[in-house]
Amino acid sequence: MTNIGFGIDVGGSGIKGARVDLDTGEFVGDRIKILTPKPATPTAVAETIKEILTQAEWDGPVGITLPSVVRDQKALTAANIDPSWIDCDLRALMSEHLGAEREVSVLNDADAAGLAEARFGNPKAREGAVILLTLGTGIGSAYLIDGTLVPNTEFGHMVIDGKEAEHFASSAAKEREDLSYSKWAKRVSKVLNEYERLFWPSLFIVGGGISRKSEKWVPKLSVETPVVPAELRNRAGIVGAAMAVDQHLHP
């Protein structure tokens, strides 16, 4: 029998969900996407998630990503999401909107991507200390030790030369400042060099939309550590979310 789960990825522009084959990491059936409500308050997002589950006719356990630190199923930060998420009790929220009987696991978006890459992506993601970064509006991070996730690292907020890494090296910063790949790669190198100096990882995995064009900038990086693009691409969040609830992870 196939082992099927359901994951939902909450992003700044869209909220996406799909059934996931937990043995292969592939989607089963279509991915459903609904535009992120504005403002993206906890109630509005939870209602959108409910709508996705209704459309999918899924009443089983669900894993959900959030671009926030999640500890004890409480959202603690809101760097790029509505500030009303701070201190939100995610168990209470989801039980109110998705049903008290349903098992729900909410976790950081980059952590979900890390779980998925370690299980279904590059086998090297399971060896030694690995840092996965998602480059988008912000910079998300997942820190993996021999494939085990250390949750809630927020390496994108590391202050380098007086500035938070994600403020000058995210792909949003590249667009905002209209930087060439070469100029932007210099900034990303600066960030990776700092992570190298402090964590000595064996591998960097780079994800997020811009990793699709990795051949344009990864070769321009000046780092000692190997850098590879993520393999699951935009599937990683949904797959990692489905894995998290299947493993009863409730960070």
Shortest Å distance, C-beta 218 to ligand BGC: 19
> Given the complex with ligand BGC, which of 102 and 233 has the nearer CB atom?
233
Task: Give phi and psi for 103, each to the nearest 5.
Answer: -80, 130
Shortest Å distance, C-beta 2 to ligand BGC: 30
> Given the complex with ligand BGC, which of 68 and 105 has the nearer CB atom?
68
> Given the complex with ligand BGC, which of 77 and 189 has the nearer CB atom?
77
Shortest Å distance, C-beta 107 to ligand BGC: 10
Query: CA 243, CA 236: separation in Å to the nearest integer?
Result: 10
Q: Which residues bind ligand BGC (CB under 6 A)?
A: 67-69, 77, 79-80, 108-110, 134, 136, 138, 140, 154, 156, 166
Shortest Å distance, C-beta 170 to ligand BGC: 8
Query: CA 123, CA 60: separation in Å to the nearest integer?
Result: 30
Q: Which long-range contacts (CB under 8 A, 24 or more apart) does 78-84 make?
A: 79/138, 79/157, 79/166, 80/12, 80/137, 80/138, 81/12, 81/40, 82/39, 82/40, 82/41, 82/42, 84/39, 84/41, 84/42
> Given the complex with ligand BGC, which of 25 and 67 has the nearer CB atom?
67
Task: Give phi and psi for 82, each to the nearest 5.
Answer: -60, 130
